[in-house]
Amino acid sequence: MAGGAIVRRLMYAAALFIVVTSGIVATGTSAQARALDDGTPVGRDQYRILMNQCRYADTEQLRSQCRSAVENDYRIGAENSSLDCRTYSGVTVCGDLMLSKREAACVQHSVTAGLTERRSEVECYALY
């Protein structure tokens, strides 16, 4: 009888181990699958532009927030013709720009001076 109890305990322990490790693997897989389903699909070059434009943000905190936003909002997939990409003064950006107060003031000043808002956003974001 004592031998049977030990075997049962070993079987329970093995079953518990399998259930626990399967849960970890399944959880990791489902989390990864959810991450791949989230976000707007964009082409590889578009994703690179989105990540690279974060270097223009004013502070390290804003640069980090920008990169996190790109990672959360976009995923590499097919080229996205509806993504708003534009190039001015040799700087290419895509999507919405997270402007600092200083950059927003620059945009307002530039628009008042006669530049288009789109161009002002890119130039103030990247150059000032």
29 & 51 share domain: no
Q: Assign 3-class secondary structure to the chain.
A: CHHHHHHHHHHHHHHHHHHHHHHHHHHHHHHHHHHHHCCEEECHHHHHHHHHHHHHCCCHHHHHHHHHHHHHHEEECCCCCCCCEEEECCEEEECCCCCCHHHHHHHHHHHHCCCCHHHHHHHHHHHC
Residue range of the domain that includes 44: 38-127
Q: Token pair of 126, please?
A: 């990247």
28 & 50 share domain: no
Q: Report pLDDT digits (tens) over 2-44.
A: 555 444 444 444 443 333 333 433 334 333 333 445 799 999 9
26 & 62 share domain: no
Q: Report pLDDT digits (tens) over 70-84.
A: 999 999 999 999 999
21 & 83 share domain: no
pLDDT at position 20 is: 35
**Is 0.85 topped by the overall pTM?**
no
Q: How far apart are CA 69 and CA 100, in angstroms?
A: 15
Q: Report pLDDT digits (tens) over 39-91.
A: 999 999 999 999 999 999 999 999 999 999 999 999 999 999 999 999 999 99
What total of structural domains would you count in the chain? 2
Confidence of residue 1 (pLDDT cuts 50, 70, 90): low
